Structure formats: C-alpha cells, structure tokens
Structure 1
C-alpha cells in the first residue's frame, strides 16, 4: 500500500530515472555521438526540434556544431547533415545501411502511407516499385513518347495564364496534375474542378500534415495509437480514419479507371497500362502496380508544380536573367517557332539556365526531406551513428551553402559555365532530387516537365513585378511548413511579349 506521501506518479518517475541511469552505465558506445544542442535527462532534445521551417534551425546547428549534428528525443537519435560531402559519403556510398525509412505512427501506420513509395521500408517492395518506374520513365529516351502530352498540356496552361494571370498558382498545380495523370493513368482531366486532381491535392495535403514532425502526440508516444477513437484527446484517430480513406481512393480510383478502359479496349498508353498489358498479376503484384502508379501520380505533381511556380517568382525577382533567357530562345528557334521547344538544348547558356533554375526552384520549394533510417550501427567520420537513427539531409542549406555557391541567393545561371578559366560551380542535380537509394525515381520526368514549362512560358510571356498605386511590389520568398512545402502565394505581372505571342497562345489545342 502506498503512503499518503508517495504516489504512483512518484514511483513511475523513479522507475524512469532508474532506467535512464542503468542505460547510461551499461551503454558503452564505441565512439561519441556527433555534437549538438544539449538535452535534458529522459526527454533529451524534445524542445529543440522546430516545427516551423526546420531547415533554418538545422542550418544554424551546422554553423555551430559542424556539418554533422545530433539530437536525441525520448531515445530516438536524429542526425542532421549540412554538407553534400557527408550526405554522399553516408547516404550514397553506404546505401545499404542508410536507406530505410522511419516508422511514423500517425502518417505511416494509422493513415497508412507506409504503403506508398515514399515510406516503403528498404527491401523488396521498394526495389520492385522503383524498377516499375524505371522501366517506363527511367531515362530520357523512354520519356520521348510523352513529349506531345507535355507540350499540349503546357499550351493549355499558357491559355489559362493568359486569361486569368491572377490565378497562377492554381493553374500551375492543375497543369502539373494534368500532365502526370495523363502519363501515369492515361486520364485526360476536365478543364475545371477535375475530381482526380482534387483527390490528389487533398491526399498530398493530408500526407504532409500527417507526417510533419511533432504534429501529433502519437508520434512521440506511439502507445496512444491503441486508445479508442472515443477516448478524450483521441481526435487524431478520427482524422486518421478519414485521411486513410482519401489515401485509398487516391490510389484505387484512377487504377480502376485504367482497368476499365483496358477492358473496353479504349485505354490510351500510360505508365499503368504499360505495366498491366499482357500480364496476369497476383494480388501482391497488382497492389504493387497500383501503388507504383499512385506514387508517380501523387508525388510527381508536387515535384513539378513547386519548381514551375518558383520559376515565375525567379523571373519576377531577376528580370535581367529573364531577358537573357528570352534572347537565347529567340536566337535559337526564332520568333515564328517558339513552341519548337526540343531544339533549344544545344546552347550552353540555356542549359545552364535550366540546370540552375531547377535547383534554385527546389531550394525554394521542396525544403523538407523524409528522413533516412539507419539499419545497423555505423562509425562515420569518427562519430557513432547508432542503429535506428534518423538521418535528415538539409537540402535547403546544401543548395544555399556559400562555401559551395557564391552569393547563393542570387539567380545566376552563368555560375555553371566555364568563366575565364574559373571552374563551374557544383552541379546541383546531385542534391536536388535526394540521395542514395532514395533518390527521386521520377527525376527525369520532373526535369522534362519543368523544362518545357519554362521554355514555353518565357517564349510568350514577360514576367515582372506588380505595380500598385504607383509602387512596385517586390514579392517575398516564403514557404509553408510540413513534409511537403510550397511557396506561399505571391503577386506578379504576366503579359504576352507581342501580338504574335498572343496569337500563338490563343490557338486551339487538342490531343
């Protein structure tokens, strides 16, 4: 029996302290952890992980503690990487050890996103899904067959922007979804309020919210996943049930559309139809194809929409670069052939523009990476990285590191050209799309879509700052927070470059 001066809570606290002390005595690490902010007993650095724009805090850790820093939260070790060298040496060169994904109680388990490519654990299912994607869109040659789709949907995008430039962000997201859906499932979107576009947008918003670090208490205390939905404070269980239904619909409804079209003999070529044609699949294989297509359909739209929207911001902020790029287009294709986008490639300055733009766009859009998880103990650069650690590459800082890029906030494509014997700066494609065996499998597709959108938009539009009441408005580079981040809305002026450009924009576009 407990005395009046001792409660069960007191005993629980004593037990936790005892367990902590025993762990400290018995746990003889082979080396020290990487440096990082000091934590508290038991809870560690639970207050140190920022919920808003964590990449900025991670960058500060890099300046204070070095390119590899460490925190611990309730026993979970987290390693933050602030240099390309360490990211390559750990995530690329030790890919078999550093390619797993964390278990996310809310987003992964309760909502069910562990069935999606982004959260697959390292193993056979991940390999097969990436193999499926590589088989259909794994190289630039394989993507040629989809170029007409990209061109037609981009021309439709130009018409939408011409008619309603103030709705630029909506047009960008809609067009990215239209291109990806046509490629992934052979589905042609409706002009307005398409149900598949809306479904994908809703699913990815819920993915971002359910996997954001620290957003739900169940991620810190996984045992809460077992409480009933009616239990006080268990509203997250209701959300998880609703969001799980969205996730399932996002994968299953477009997949059923393809199967129905194939059964009727009217299916158009797509990623999904290519994987289904002439094959008899087991239930497991069928599920794999469905989620491979869903991964392309959901993730691909974000990986293309964010850079394209960022492009309009870049052109608003850096008009001199815009003029150089437009002059390059005009010189190569001529003013009468602005839509012959594929011949722009041979010019070095234009290539450098696209390379740098893509990576500047990523650095201002996709700022948060899903952590890698370590599958066995490792010693790296003299530091102990225990099994189960989460490793976060701070891609934003790597693309804005002044040690790598001179004046990194400046949009300067010429930094990637040989200049009076000075070597070009680091090729950023090794950073933009992630690292190791978790690098984005659709990177060539994303590159192609951003390329055509950029070229065609610059060919016909002048993009500049808005003037309100005689005052020029300079937009701010700011972002949402979450696993998937986006630029916040900004204002810009978008006008046709000429009467000829207007006529080209207004031409009818059909498949």
Structure 2
C-alpha cells in the first residue's frame, strides 16, 4: 500500500528517472559505424539481402566506408570491406574477434556446430587446429601427400579427355578424391561414389543453411522451438533431412578408417595418423572425427569452386592461357607432365593460381565472426556480441560500381589501391615487372584472417596448382562454337556461403598427339 506522500505517478516518474540515468551512464561516447537507417524495433531486417549478399555489402562499403553497421532485432552486424580493417580487427585483436556466433539453422538445427568453421573459440577449437596443423600445417608437412594429388590429377585428365562435357562432375570427383585420400585414405570409385555424393549434398546444404539471412530462424532464434507442422516452419523439415546427411558424411568415412586399421590394411591418412597407437576417450574420439570431417568438408567444396573457375577463366582469357602454356613448354617440355618438383621453376603458373584465387573468391563473405567484448575501433563502438562479416567480394562485379577516390581501402581483393585495374584478369600483377614490385599475394586474404584463417590452405593451394599445371600442359581450353557463333560463358556465381561459377560450356581438346599419350599414361605412375 502506498503512503499518502507517494503516489503511483511518483513511482512512474522515479522509474523513468532511473532509466534515463542508466541511459546516460551506459551511453558509449563512441557511435556505431555508419550504415543504412533502420526501423524502430525491427531495425534493418528489410535491408539484409537473401541472395548475392556481397553485392549489397559492397554498395554499403561504397556509401558508408570500410566498416558499416546494421542492427536486426537487437543483433548488431558489422560488415568489413577493407583489408586494413580486417587485419587491424581480426589479426591484431584476435582474442576479441575470433569467436563464432550461434547459427540457429546451420549450427544448431542441422548440426554443423561441431565443424571447425563454426566452433566457438576455445579449447576444442584449438585442438582441432592443432590436429590439422600437425599433419598438413605447412608445405613441408604436405609433401608426403603430393603423390596422391598427382595421381588423382592424372586421373582427372583422363576423365576430361574421355568426356569433356562432364567437366564439372570430373572436377568434383577429383577434388573429393584428393580430400578423401588425404583425410581418410579412401580411394574413390570411378562412378557414383557414395562418399563423393555425401560430400556434395552435405556441402550444398551447409552453403544454403549458413548464408546470411537465408532462414527466418537465424533472425528470430525462438522459432527453432516451433514444431514442423507450424505455418512457416518448413525450415525444420529441411534441417532434419540435412542433419541426417551431415551425420552420414561425418560417421561413415571415419568408421571406414577404423575398420581398415583393425584389419591392418589402412593406408596413410590424416585420420589414421591421429588414431595410430592411441586409446581415445569419448572427447578425443569426437575431436579426431570432427577434425577429419572439417578437413574433408572444407577441401571438397572449396577446391571444386576454384578449379572450375580456372577452366572458366581460361575460356575467357585465351592470351593468359597461351602464356602459361609457353612457360610449361619451355620448362617441362612435351615429354612428361609437370609435377610439384617443377613448382619453383614455373613463376607464371604460380602467378596464374594467385589470380584465380583473387578473381573467384570461394567464400565471398565468409562465416561471421563474433565479438566477445566491447571494442572501440577507428572511433566506432563495436558492441559485445556483434557479428562481423568480411566482404571478400568478387572481382567480376567490380564494374558494377563507380569506384572513386573516396573508395580507398575497400573491397579487399578488388581494392584499386592494392590491385591495379582489378577488373582485369592479369596474372602478371604477381610477377616482378619492369622494376615494379609484385602486388600482394591474395592467399593472405582469401583464406581468412586472424586465428580463424583456413588451416587447410596449403592442401587447397597445392591441389589447385597441380590441376592448373597439368591441365594446361595437355589441354587447349576455348569457347564452344554453336551454329558458327562463339558462345561466351556468362560469369554468374551462385549465392551461398560457398560460391561456385554456374555451369558453362567450353571446348577442351588435347594440344597434340604427345599430349594424348601423356593423358593416357597409367595414372598410378
């Protein structure tokens, strides 16, 4: 009961006063980074793109600067369009910017939360990375797997020669074969391999389920608790189906390695090396299994996108192809295929691989990082719990935007301050040229930043290099001619966390009779 001297109005005014005082004292002197104006309560929910989100983020970069900010139902999202900002935040402040958000769809409902890419920053994350680094953490450690990559790439040449119209399928089979033999010692079947199919379906599901704004449950996490029959909850049915596919992708090859080891016939692999001579606890078994799955999943899809992009680029830029082939002819000659032993003697091929990685970024915006404590960066307030999205962006869209002097230090792999004429496909930018220093290696950008840089980058880099060298040594790649008209492929990548060139037509023919003989050599040589 209120006393005669204290009324309900007094209590309301007091409550308002306390709220205002808290607002004053809790108000951070720094403002958020600039960004599009949102609506009350819902914030910028209507501004979040559902497809090709990197294009919208690039528009924000042009308008607002290197760092932009939006808020969706109370969730702060920071978009970085600058290499310098990415390095300053994710590299130099790694302890603050290395966490991952909880992704209701991909992580919780589908189950990808156990994969390295989505693990929160902590002890398990460090153990996964330690496992991968121990086995393939540098070029020297990867040398033991080079014969596998060379054998599988030789098989790729045979497949393409026999059926060039099925290029995309051959690329996927070969990338899967390399990662499966490296991860599990499993040798794929030539047709309809079940592990390849599993990886393709699972990684497609991952790309779709983790794309920013693709599912309403990622914006309203409480919807994760509604039943499948609830109106608008079709994502629950998808999540259940995708979860089963993921479980099979993780469990089946791991079981294969254990059975091979029990029988004493397991070949060398990432998983067998980690299991050899050990009795594992449940936690250790989980860590080894998901470390292997992380390597398998990460390599199987990213390598596919990059090698397929190589054939697209060679179709579109024949002069580059001729220069690469001239170097191969001069250094390697026509009587054998190039090998990793030739790598240091082929600088133009090396430069070409770098340009492919710059031109077609596999993950245009990466998986968001999460900020673990409040930060002030470049005078802006970055709240604890913010999601940080890196916009690597694709060079092919560069011409869409009017890049002016105000755009300095933006667009990462397309920054005109870093890469001269970034819309031009030009491997020579990475060579010593008339006294000019080479432009920065895109591998320091496209594989991520800070403590979440891709740990399998050396495996991916090696696979792309050997595919490039061997393919250009024996094949001429060009536009197809239909009804006496050259067909120029459309450059239009798919949406999703992992982006691929859309299917395209190209002509792939052996360069000579000697090239045919090299292709038809025993692939186990």
TM more than 0.5: yes
- Name 1:390's counterpart in structure 2: 387
| 1:406-443 Cα shifts (integer Å, max 9, x gaps) | 22121111112222232322221111101111110000
Q: Which 10-residue stretch deviates more, 349-358 or 73-82?
A: 349-358
Q: Which of 515, 520, 523 is matched with 1:501 structurally?
A: 515
- Name 2:160's counterpart in structure 1: 161
- 8 Å CA contact retained: 2:157, 2:471: yes
- Name 1:377's counterpart in structure 2: 374
- 8 Å CA contact retained: 1:368, 1:482: no
- Name 2:506's counterpart in structure 1: 492
| CA apart distance, 1:357 | 2.7
| CA apart distance, 1:366 | 2.7
| CA apart distance, 1:210 | 1.5
Taking structure 1 as the reference length, the TM-score comes to 0.93
| 1:340-392 Cα shifts (integer Å, max 9, x gaps) | 44214234333322322333232xx3323101100000000100000001111
| CA apart distance, 1:159 | 0.8
What is the SS of the residue equivalent to 1:79? strand
| 1:181-206 Cα shifts (integer Å, max 9, x gaps) | 00100000000110011011111111
| CA apart distance, 1:246 | 1.1
Cα separation, 1, equivalents of 2:493 and 2:207: 14
Say whether 1:471 aligns with 2:485. Answer: yes
- 8 Å CA contact retained: 2:150, 2:339: no
Cα separation, 2, equivalents of 1:133 and 1:222: 32
| CA apart distance, 1:23 | 9.1
Cα separation, 2, equivalents of 1:27 and 1:372: 25
Say whether 1:446 aligns with 2:460. Answer: yes
Cα separation, 2, equivalents of 1:333 and 1:229: 60
Say whether 1:179 aligns with 2:178. Answer: yes
Number of equivalenced pairs? 490
Matches for 1:40-439 after TM superposition, within 5 Å:
40-362=39-361, 365-396=362-393, 397-439=411-453
Cα separation, 2, equivalents of 1:370 and 1:267: 34
What is the SS of the residue equivalent to 2:160? helix
| CA apart distance, 1:284 | 0.3
What is the SS of the residue equivalent to 1:129? helix
| CA apart distance, 1:455 | 0.2
What is the SS of the residue equivalent to 1:384? strand
- 8 Å CA contact retained: 1:80, 1:392: yes
Task: For structure 1, list consecutive stretches of 5 or more residues without a partner in the other structure.
Answer: 1-19
What is the SS of the residue equivalent to 1:479? coil
- 8 Å CA contact retained: 1:368, 1:485: no
Cα separation, 1, equivalents of 2:169 and 2:21: 56
Cα separation, 2, equivalents of 1:277 and 1:321: 46
| CA apart distance, 1:213 | 1.9
| 1:271-313 Cα shifts (integer Å, max 9, x gaps) | 0000000111100000000000001111111121111000001
- 8 Å CA contact retained: 1:352, 1:416: yes
Taking structure 2 as the reference length, the TM-score comes to 0.91
Cα separation, 1, equivalents of 2:447 and 2:79: 17
| CA apart distance, 1:93 | 0.6
Task: For structure 2, list consecutive stretches of 5 or more residues without a partner in the other structure.
Answer: 1-18, 394-410
| CA apart distance, 1:26 | 7.1
- Name 1:480's counterpart in structure 2: 494
Cα separation, 1, equivalents of 2:97 and 2:161: 47
Q: Which 10-residue stretch deviates more, 106-115 or 230-239?
A: 230-239
| 1:254-275 Cα shifts (integer Å, max 9, x gaps) | 0000000000001000000000
What is the SS of the residue equivalent to 1:77? strand
| CA apart distance, 1:27 | 4.8
